[in-house]
Amino acid sequence: MTAVPPAALDRSRAPAAGRRRPFRFPRLEREIVANGVELLMAPLPGRGLIQLDLICPGGAQHETAPEAGLATLTASLLDEGTSSASAMDIAGRLEGIGGALATSADWDAIYLSAGVPADHGERALEVLAELASDASFPDAEIARLRRQRRAELRRRSAQPAFQAALQLATAIYGDGAYGHSLLGTDTSITNLDRQRIVRFARRHVAPEGATLVAVGDFEPETFAAHCSRLLARWQVVESPGAPPAPRPTGDRRIWIVDRPGSMQTELRCGQAGIPRRHADFAPLQVLNSILGGKFTSRLNLSLRERHAVTYGAYSRITGRSGPGPIVLGAAVANEAAGLALGEMLTELNRLREAPVLEEELADARDYLLGVFPYELQTVGGISRRLETLAVHGLPDDYFADYLARVEAVSATELLDCARALLRPEETAAVAVGPAAELQPQLEPYGDVRVIAAKAVPESAEGSDSPPRYLTINRLESYT
């Protein structure tokens, strides 16, 4: 090949950037198609794939603690039978063409999703419309899924990370909304009879306020016409009513879940944050990035790269219609649990005490701005963005506003935001590990209670119905 003379190369400094090319967010189209259902489309010609997500607002925020798990169990029954099709008939319809069907629920909504090759968009739509309007909740399927759910709870109860996430949710939110597992408990599942499930579905799988997000390779006008036709028979049956508001306890609680012989400690601490629609959500995302939202965050550099007591430390904010949690976490060496909790609380305090360095601010800001298009590569990634708009009632230009907001954020604004939102003195903490070794390490930070492991876990994101297919340790590569 022809060589360019390398003589001029100076390796001692990073090369200058070229000229930035702008990116375009996919063009969106909105249309009311039937009975109050809004169709939100991002047509991407040539992709060969279509992703559909039918989003029914409401979700688990409408369930009470004694009926915990009702939203996810209802969701998982939506594809287990209709008046004219059995569970296995339904499964075969999209799987035969290489497609996939999924139903799920989180605190904010129930979701029916289908991913199919481009020439089968109409079929996918037919399936979603049939499930939404005509699920029959057969007794045998209810009994089967309740047994499966109870086994799932048992399986997950052995996972320290799930124990930690669940106990922290209870420590932050008590027994109100957000305080229990979306999967329910062994006891609550037995309370979920057909009558409750059907009533929940009539109220919360309804067209009023629902959004169908469609992303991929389809022709919008034809597709909208199909939607109007196929969703016409989906009718409002019963008014959903208002959900109870979450009531964070605001207590400093430190709980140890005793796990004798544990090789490591799953440590979490956190507090209630702000609703997804809150005006400060964007600056909170910048703060989170600095605190624990990326590899070069304060928490990870401290606990992994300076102290080497963990494989990774992070912080995470969760956008919900109410005040979702702000969580800091790491799996740490048992002997370092006290040090790690101390570092977490110190980092929370530091954000309230002094403005972040200009350099840190620039790093976080440019990270969030630069990384934004990354999720727009795939149909699924774009769907997730549009789901956020749909679930939280955000306008089409929300992400443009978000990027402008991030670009303009100042260290002073972040300091104000941290002082208003972070409350280290109310931070609850959970450590899953050997209590005898952990207790003396954690006592300096507050009253410690040792509690027994619950046989009720929860996913870290708190958003899934139980996985249909196995996820094993993939025997794969290690990063």
For other proteins, the binding residues in 151-170 under the rule CB under 8 A are 151-152, 154-155, 157-160
User: Smallest gap, in angstroms, from Cβ of residue 338 to other proteins?
Assistant: 16
Q: Which residues contact 388 (CB under 8 A, 6 or more apart)?
A: 276, 319, 394, 398
Nearer to other proteins, 376 or 451 (CB): 376
Using an 8 Å Cβ cutoff, are 246 and 172 in contact?
A: no
Residue 265 and residue 164: Cα distance in Å, rounded?
Answer: 10
Rule CB under 8 A: say whether 177 interacts with other proteins.
Answer: no
Contacts 24+ apart (CB under 8 A), 369-376: 369/403, 369/406, 369/407, 372/23, 372/399, 372/403, 373/23, 376/23, 376/25, 376/26
Q: Does 478 bind other proteins (CB under 8 A)?
A: yes
Minimum distance, C-beta of residue 403 to other proteins, in the bound complex (Å): 11
Nearer to other proteins, 6 or 395 (CB): 6
* Least CB distance to other proteins at residue 73 (A): 16
- Does 452 bind other proteins (CB under 8 A)? Our answer is no
Minimum separation from the CB atom of position 259 to other proteins (A): 8
Residue 372, SS3 per DSSP: helix
**Strand 37-43 to 211-216 pairing:** parallel
Q: Are strands 49-57 and 254-258 parallel, antiparallel or unpaired?
A: unpaired
Contact segment (CB under 8 A) with other proteins among 28-36, 56-64, 225-233, 296-304 equals: 296-304
378 forms part of the interface with other proteins (CB under 8 A): yes
Task: Candidates 220, 229, 251, 311: give the one binding other proteins (CB under 8 A).
Answer: 311
- 33 or 142, CB closer to other proteins? 142
Name beta bridge partners: 315. Answer: 328
Residue type, 450: V
Closest distance to other proteins from the beta carbon of 342 (Å): 18
389's CB contacts (< 8 A; 6+ apart) are: 40, 395, 396, 398
Nearer to other proteins, 301 or 450 (CB): 301
For 292, counting Cβ atoms within 10 Å of its Cβ (0-12 exposed, 13-18 middle, 19+ buried), the class is buried
- Of 13 and 195, which has the nearer Cβ to other proteins? 13
57 binds other proteins (CB under 8 A): no
- Cβ at position 267, least distance to other proteins in Å: 12
> Which lies closer to other proteins via its Cβ, residue 225 or residue 404?
404
CB of 463 to other proteins, least distance (A): 19
Q: For residues 238-277, which are near other proteins according to CB under 8 A?
A: 261-264
Instruction: Report the 10 Å Cβ neighbour count for 436.
Output: 11
Q: Binding segment for other proteins among 148-156, 228-236, 272-280, 423-431 (CB under 8 A)?
A: 148-156
DSSP codes, 117-130: EGGGHHHHHHHHHH
C-alpha distances out from residue 467 to 96, 201, 344, 472, Å: 20, 21, 32, 11
Q: Footprint of other proteins on residues 85-124 (CB under 8 A)?
A: 87-88, 91-92, 95-100, 115-119
* Binding piece for other proteins, criterion CB under 8 A, among 33-41, 103-111, 189-197, 298-306: 298-306
Phi then psi dihedrals of residue 6, to 5 deg: -85, 5
Grouping H, G, I as helix, E, B as strand and the rest as coil, residue 322 is coil
Min dist CB 69 to other proteins, Å, is 17
From the list 238, 335, 366, 447, which residue makes contact with other proteins (rule: CB under 8 A)? 366
Are 269 and 446 a contacting pair, CB within 8 Å?
no
Counting residues that bind other proteins (by CB under 8 A) gives: 93
**Does residue 21 belong to the site contacting other proteins (CB under 8 A)?**
yes
- 353 contacts 284 by C-beta, under 8 angstroms: no
Closest CB 127 distance from other proteins, rounded Å: 13
Nearer to other proteins, 407 or 443 (CB): 407
| Region binding other proteins by CB under 8 A among candidate stretches 56-64, 321-329, 416-424, 462-470 | 462-470
Does residue 279 bind other proteins (CB under 8 A)? no
Instruction: Work out whether 12 is an interface residue with other proteins (CB under 8 A).
Output: yes
* 260/395 with CB nearer other proteins: 260
Q: CB-wise, 32 or 158, nearer to other proteins?
A: 158
Residue 395 binds other proteins, judged by CB under 8 A: no
- Which residues are within 8 A (CB) of 338 and not within 5 positions of it... i.e. 6 or more apart? 438, 440, 441, 442, 444, 445
Which listed residue (45, 241, 250, 370) binds other proteins by CB under 8 A?
370
Asked if 14 touches other proteins (CB under 8 A), the answer is: yes
- 436 lies in the binding site for other proteins (CB under 8 A): no
Considering the rule CB under 8 A, would residue 295 count as an interface residue with other proteins?
Answer: yes
Give me the helices (H) in 160-306, please: 160-173, 186-191, 194-204, 220-231, 281-291, 298-300
Q: Are 314 and 330 in contact (CB under 8 A)?
A: yes
Residues 399-428 within binding reach of other proteins (CB under 8 A): none
User: What angle is formed at CA 355 by the lines to CA 352 and CA 356, rounded to 5 degrees?
Assistant: 105
